[in-house]
Amino acid sequence: MPDAEKRATHFIEDMIDEDNRSGRWGGRVHTRFPPEPNGYLHIGHAKSICLNYGLAEKYGGEFNLRFDDTNPIKEEQEYVDSIVRDVRWLGARWTAMRDDDPNAGVLFASDYFQQMYDLAVLLIRKGRAFVCDQSPEQVAEFRGTLTSPGRNSPYRDRSVAENIELFERMRRGEFPDGSRTLRAKIDMAHPNLNLRDPVMYRILHASHHRTGDEWCIYPMYDWAHGLEDSIECITHSICTLEFENHRPLYDWYINAINEGNPAPIHHPQQIEFARLELTHTVMSKRKLLELVRGGYVRGWDDPRMPTLSGLRRRGVTPEAIRAFCADIGVAKFNSTIEIVRLENAVRNDLNLRAQRRLAVLRPLRVVIENYPEEKVEELDAVNNPEDPSAGTRKIPFSRIVYIERDDFREDPPKDFFRLAPGREVRFRWAYFITCKSVIKDAAGQITELRCTYDPATRGGDAPGGRKVKSTLHWVSAERSIPAEVRLYDHLFSVPNPEVDAPGGDYKANLNPASLVVLSDCRLEPSLATVRIGDRFQFERLGYFCVDPDSTPGRLIFNRTVTLKDAWIKIEKGRAR
């Protein structure tokens, strides 16, 4: 990734540096991202992708995208497609990737099923695996507990010949689901429960999204995963902390295969790191699925979701996500990142590239009494003060304009220096405006402001250097266009929705104000020609992007993130 910045090395880089010094892998670095296609990718996966791809890139190595598709019951092609799309969007480049074929170079564990099967037969021949007829309940009962040893399965000492025959019959489909398993013969008293004769294969008469009905036995993750990495000659198998307990089992499998083997298989080094946790959201696939299925959000790509598709629809750029991942670091400490860090990365990125526009979300009508009725002026506005090459555009100014209701106070509190009766402010790129009077309806609601403008301040500067305390955004009433704007806030109203869950239900912490739809917004006319996905800064408000729900006649914008707002901070401080 081109935007990798200079920073201290983390522990995995230190390990690779050490490997390179010792010549362990001959200078080779080969990583992979191994998702199970049973859900959509989220920001936590982005951390793993950035880590794995980033290492391959940094060390001139290779990076595989491989699906860990060993459980047909939970996996679907829809998820495969979305994951390929998201990894590509994030900017990772896998080995043999092509831009004209989405699936080129994508790898699948299911392509290795026969090799895995052959290796399982090898372990049976070596007396290291056996077919077990225990029921799932019996297996659990015989496993023992955390503090007490298990007992051997009564089927543990079957002959090699019988095991081979039964395993072949399992594959042929002669037995019902759950009736038999293939298990490794290790140690039922081992303090690490993963080594108490773990199941290697289970019978599953289920159709697989890629292999169809070719198989009715499927390898367990622990058996399959290490072999996948071995087959692909992965050097550094990077995974999350909870698999630390499994590493001895992967090592056992490969050692058992290689013992006395004239053609030993590759033995990758597994390294564990802490997965990403974020405040004000949830990250487990199960809970995200529940939010989608339960209608709590509008889908996997709801802009409030931490999914990559949600973030993309929200207007977050892949560059911002990569910068965020680089910023938070990699370690073995189970930490929770404050979501403002992500928001900050988004602002930093968009500040530099998003063009500025004027948009009024909650319009308040303003009549400029001394401005001619029919006159319209095209005023010059800078597109991006951070990027002179973005140029300028014209904005029409006229007698009647809209400003933000929040930008006027009839009785302004201290430190409020926006518009108020008798006060002069600047209209961005236009004129100095003074509020002369306030018009209200019968209910006492402000419906209109009557103001005057100073013709000498055209463009926004006073000739004598006269200052105003604030600059407001505005749009011409007649020459602006309507739009719907969707304001998003944190999905959950508390930092740790799973920990502080009333009644044990994290959903009780859903933020009722996470989506606010404003349907009467007014935009400057240059926005009439935008395309879906285009991003802008609406000055003084935040960053917004065009939602796919937009139609030619009706523009819909999503608020990606607000600008920092010093005034809100002052107000909140006063409330306290």
Binding-site member from 233, 289, 518, 570 for RNA (CB under 7 A) = 570
The torsion of the CA quartet 312, 316, 322, 327, rounded to 10 degrees, works out to -140
Sequence-separated (6 or more) residues with CB below 8 Å from residue 357 = 523, 524, 526, 527, 536, 537, 538, 539
Do strands 515-523 and 446-454 pair parallel, antiparallel, or not at all (unpaired)?
unpaired
Q: Where are the alpha helices (DSSP H) in 126-236?
A: 136-142, 160-172, 221-231
Residues 496-555 that bind RNA (CB under 7 A): 537, 539-540
Residues 172-211 that bind RNA (CB under 7 A): 177-181, 191-194, 198-199, 202-204
* Alpha carbon separation from 414 to 40, 334, 417, 515, 571 (Å, rounded): 49, 44, 8, 31, 10
Min. distance of Cβ 60 from RNA in angstroms? 21
Q: Total residues at the site for RNA (CB under 7 A)?
A: 91
Task: Based on the shown chain and the rule CB under 7 A, indicate whether residue 439 belongs to the binding site for RNA.
Answer: no
Min. distance of Cβ 470 from RNA in angstroms? 5
Binding-site member from 103, 114, 159, 245 for RNA (CB under 7 A) = 245
Q: What is the DSSP string of 110-131?
A: GGGHHHHHHHHHHHHHTTSEEE
Residue type, 372: P
Which residues in 352-478 belong to E strands, given as ranges? Answer: 355-357, 359-360, 363-368, 377-382, 392-397, 400-404, 424-427, 432-440, 446-454, 471-472, 474-476
Nearer to RNA, 308 or 323 (CB): 323
User: Is 74 a catalytic site residue?
Assistant: no
Min. distance of Cβ 36 from RNA in angstroms? 4
Min. distance of Cβ 499 from RNA in angstroms? 8
Binding-site member from 95, 470, 493, 511 for RNA (CB under 7 A) = 470
Binding pattern for the stretch 302-331 against RNA, x by CB under 7 A and - elsewhere:
-------------------------xxxxx
Binding pattern for the stretch 247-266 against RNA, x by CB under 7 A and - elsewhere:
--------------------
Binding-site member from 45, 280, 322, 428 for RNA (CB under 7 A) = 428
Residues 62-81 that bind RNA (CB under 7 A): 68, 70-71, 74
Min. distance of Cβ 315 from RNA in angstroms? 15
Query: What is the helix (H) or strand (E) element at residue 203, kind and residue range?
Result: strand 199-203
Please give the Cα distance from 359 to 532 (Å, whole number). Answer: 17
User: Is 58 a catalytic site residue?
Assistant: no
- Contact range with RNA by CB under 7 A, out of 116-124, 135-143, 157-165, 395-403: 135-143
User: Is 275 a catalytic site residue?
Assistant: yes
Min. distance of Cβ 202 from RNA in angstroms? 3
Nearer to RNA, 93 or 341 (CB): 341
Sign of the four-CA dihedral 97, 98, 102, 104:
negative
Q: One of 13, 24, 28, 36 is an active-site residue; which one?
A: 36
Nearer to RNA, 302 or 423 (CB): 423
Please give the Cα distance from 282 to 275 (Å, whole number). Answer: 13
Task: Based on the shown chain and the rule CB under 7 A, indicate whether residue 89 belongs to the binding site for RNA.
Answer: no
Binding-site member from 24, 28, 85, 143 for RNA (CB under 7 A) = 143
Sequence-separated contacts (24+) of 146-154 with Cβ below 8 Å: 146/193, 149/188, 149/189, 150/188, 150/189, 150/196, 150/197, 151/188, 152/188, 152/197, 153/183, 153/188, 153/197
Nearer to RNA, 34 or 61 (CB): 34
- Please list the active-site residues: 36, 275, 285
